[in-house]
Amino acid sequence: MTRNRTTGTWFSQRLRWFTGRENKLPTDNHALLGLIAPRHCLISTAYNDGCDQSFSAEQSYLAAREVYRFLGRPEALRIAWRPGGHETCAEVIERYLDWCDFAFGRSRAGLPEELIHHFDWDAWRRQAPAAAPPRDAEVRQRIAWGLGEEPPRQVAAGGTYGRAAAHVSAMLERGLASEKVACVALNFGEYVAGDLYFPKAVKGPLPVVVWLHPYSYNLGYNGAYMVGPRLQQFLPQKGVAVLAFDQIGFGSRLHEAQRFYDRYPRWSRLGKMVRDVRAAVDLLTLAGRPEGAGRPEDKLKDVPPIDAERIYLLGYSLGGTVALHAAALDSRVAGVACFAGFTPMRTDTESKPTGGLRRFWQWHALQPQLGLFQGRECELPYDFDDLLRLVAPRPCLVVAPRHDRDADAADVDRMIAAVRAAWSVGRAPANLTYQTPDDYSRFQGEQQEAFWKWLEPAARPADP
């Protein structure tokens, strides 16, 4: 509602002053719910609502729940989830009327509490997580601790079998071809569905960008309120393929994260995200083999020739965090671009306006291990400088907006200055590009153009 370029006058012009710094708003939904207490209140939103984030709705509910509990009426506040998108149906309306019956005392059947994002960190800790390695341990060992203990993985690279169902793609407005852009649905890793977008006029093996989305719980990789063409339509018109997929807990995979730590208490969701990227690179590498050299055409039907030497990762916000971890640990990645993707962890304390590392170990449940260092973040076994040094000397673009509410700009500046030597040692100092636009955190047309300007030299066809 604060995005003036996309929402215009739809809600309130005053909200425009808080664009990019929504955390500074004087009030929010949980305050309104608290004022309604102890009266009956039902919040309703859809799992994949294009106008709402399930995570935000649940956080508002949890905050207001404390007021209802204090007033002795916890059953008077509930959140009702709807399947699908912004639409409604007769069954949903019937549930609303059931709630009215309960509120008016005509029925004792209230709604059970259902939470889809809440993470009980204390319960996780009671399962005796692995001890952290010492700070002088090998860097990959320290990073591996942060991602958790991986279970065994399957080795099949995947292909076109197991693609996303057509009705799911239609609901999330993805998988769409256009006049110049083709799309083929793929499957890789542990049954991860993705979409490969590429130019219809294919000329030789294509460079490919793996797009890693932000905290878009409702729509996953497609995002919402985009101005102009989305990335998966923009880059193919420049001659670059784009592989896009939902990360665990987002979009079509929203419910996949709910019991993750029941199944894998010593792993992490971030570790799973990094493994999914590795599986995507496995598939792209397989697609990069020439015909007759091990490329399984039965599994890669309709997939264009891929240049396996030019696989790049592009991430924004959460996606930037995932991209840096994945690129650091996989030498097959030719380069990585990170937009508003990190702030140094060892200085990201709860006194910072970012919210501190609690965002990762509790709110979004990405790395529970980090919670073991709450209050002593400076002792963490690894940080983003370790990742960046492993990326070096490969091409790396870091874009850190000066007004990113999730980062400390001065801390990011210092970290980039400290890691530049890694590219100099690799005799490629120009391969590290650091940009600090006077802007807030966003990824729209201007940011796509900035990425393309950086990628274009590498995307040009090699000289014969």
**Torsion angles phi and psi, residue 429, rounded to 5:** -60, -30
Ordered mean pLDDT values, 10 residues apiece, the chain (464 residues): 49 78 88 97 94 93 98 97 91 94 92 95 92 95 97 77 76 83 93 95 91 95 77 95 98 96 97 98 90 70 92 98 99 98 98 94 97 97 99 98 97 98 95 97 94 92 58
- CA–CA dist 207, 242 (Å, integer): 9
How do strand 181-188 and strand 192-199 relate by DSSP bridges? antiparallel
Q: What angle do CA 60, 63, 69 make, to 5 degrees?
A: 130
- CA–CA dist 183, 140 (Å, integer): 36
Determine the pLDDT at residue 10.
55
Contact at 8 Å (CB) between 215 and 117?
no
Q: Which element (helix H / strand E) includes 199?
A: strand 192-199
Residues 6+ apart with CB under 8 A from 1: 7, 10, 11, 12, 15
Q: If DSSP codes are grouped into helix, strand and coil, which group holds residue 82? A: strand
Could you state, in order of their start, the residue ranges of all structural domains in the chain? Answer: 4-103, 121-459
Determine the pLDDT at residue 136.
94
Tokens encoding 352: 């910072």
Determine the pLDDT at residue 293.
64
Among the residues of 176-300, which ranges form H helices? Answer: 231-234, 260-263, 269-287
Determine the pLDDT at residue 395.
98
Q: Which amino acid is at 353?
A: P
Q: What angle do CA 94, 251, 187 make, to 5 degrees?
A: 125
Q: According to CATH, what is the number of the domain 121-459?
A: 3.40.50.1820
In degrees to the nearest 10, what's the CA dihedral of 61, 47, 215, 263?
90
Determine the pLDDT at residue 410.
98
Determine the pLDDT at residue 2.
44
Contact at 8 Å (CB) between 403 and 440?
yes
Determine the pLDDT at residue 1.
42
The sign of the dihedral angle between the CA atoms of 330, 336, 340, 343 is positive
Residue 381 burial by Cβ neighbours in a 10 Å radius (0-12, 13-18, 19+): buried
Determine the pLDDT at residue 229.
84
| This prediction's pTM | 0.94
- CA–CA dist 398, 417 (Å, integer): 12
Determine the pLDDT at residue 172.
82
